[in-house]
Amino acid sequence: MSKPRRKMLVSVLAVGCLLAGGILSNVPVANAASMQANQKPGQRIGQQDQKPGRRLGQQNQKPGQRVGQQVQHQSLFQFHIISQVASILGVDEQTIIGKLQAGNTLVEIAESYGVNESTLLSDLEARLGDAIDDAVTAGTITEAQAIEMESQLTERLAQLVEGTSNSSLSVPTNFYATVESSSEIYLDWDSVSDATAYYIYRATSSFGTYTKVDTVTTTSYTDDDLSDNTTYYYKVKAVNSSGTSDYSSAVHATTSDESDELSVPDDLTATVKSSSEIYLDWDSVSDATAYYIYRATSSFGTYAKVDTVTTTSYTDDDLSDDTTYYYKVKAVNSSGTSNYSPAVHATTED
């Protein structure tokens, strides 16, 4: 069970909260701010309403309970998380709490100090993993319990640092991953009511650590700059100002082998036909069974797939007059797609 992790001082209170389920509970970190609300002068965070003669964490404790098992354990565990984040960022806990009260998530706070989410999660996971190991060494929990805790550690920490899990947001459904090339995988899913954005997570094994790779406001995403002949796993969360949904189910796809990749379509040209039509044509690609047509309204804009054809020409119609459109094409077969062709553009007539 023992792992080579960086050692740290872990209080009895922190370990108690781990055992009481704090790390396995879906509790808003922002609620830590409420711990300050009734705090009296000279008290530490978490000491409010503490009865004389009792240690921190023992208030309202029922007979037979360990320290940290009473109703307060979740808030006290959150104090521990805030303490660790403050340590990682090199600031005091009050600074973190103040930013949480202002509506920031722990991820946003960390990024404001130049620490990205992946680094924050990795550091927190190592520190809390040490606490679990210490609990096993002390005989407080079994190795089986420790393994179960650690199996959920990354996901629960991600929920804590990203903000409240919002049960009113549905989980994204009909989530699919499609190989586009040796370096690209295309993802799409159904829209979630009241979602304003979506978090994209990726892992390189089905039971690996899912790292947030991007945030989008659409219901599709192309993950690029990937390694060829490699399997990637994905999950998505819906997001709004109240928090996030739970994770979607995982999907996966394997990028194509670069040596088997289709050639890029050559000699793509765009010709204006009228105020609402632009005609595209290009050279045939060996082994291609179809071609994807992509369009943007600026040279550095997002190229959206507008159609799939089996010929080497295409007329894009129903366009706005006196407007410049940019195009790229990909060759397609059952093994995947080529890379994008060079972009071309044309301006419809006035």
Q: What is the pLDDT of residues 68-101, one digit of tens each?
A: 343 333 333 333 788 888 999 999 988 988 887 7
Strand partners, 328: 294
The average pLDDT across 300-328 equals 94
Above 90 in pLDDT, residue 283?
yes
- Alpha helical stretches, state H, the chain: 12-19, 73-89, 93-101, 106-112, 117-137, 143-162
- CA neighbor of 67 nearest in space, from 135, 21, 14, 16: 16
Residue with tokens 């805790």: 149
Percent of all residues in the chain with a pLDDT value above 70, rounded to a whole number = 75
Measured between alpha carbons, how far is 198 from 235 in angstroms, rounded to an integer? 10
* pTM of the shown model: 0.48
Q: What is the DSSP letter of 165?
A: B
> What's the CA angle centered on 117, arms 113 and 120, to 5 degrees?
75
- Type of residue numbered 219: T
Q: What is the pLDDT of residues 101-151, one digit of tens each?
A: 776 778 888 888 999 888 898 898 888 888 888 888 888 888 888 888 777
Ramachandran region, residue 287 (left: φ > 0; alpha: ψ -120 to 50; beta: rest): left
Q: Which residue has the higher pLDDT, 241 or 320?
A: 320
Above 50 in pLDDT, residue 267?
yes
pLDDT at 259: 67
Domains of the chain: 12-39+65-162 (no CATH), 176-259 (2.60.40.10), 262-347 (2.60.40.10)
User: In the structure, what pLDDT confidence band is assigned to residue 189 with cuts at 50, 70 and 90?
Assistant: very high
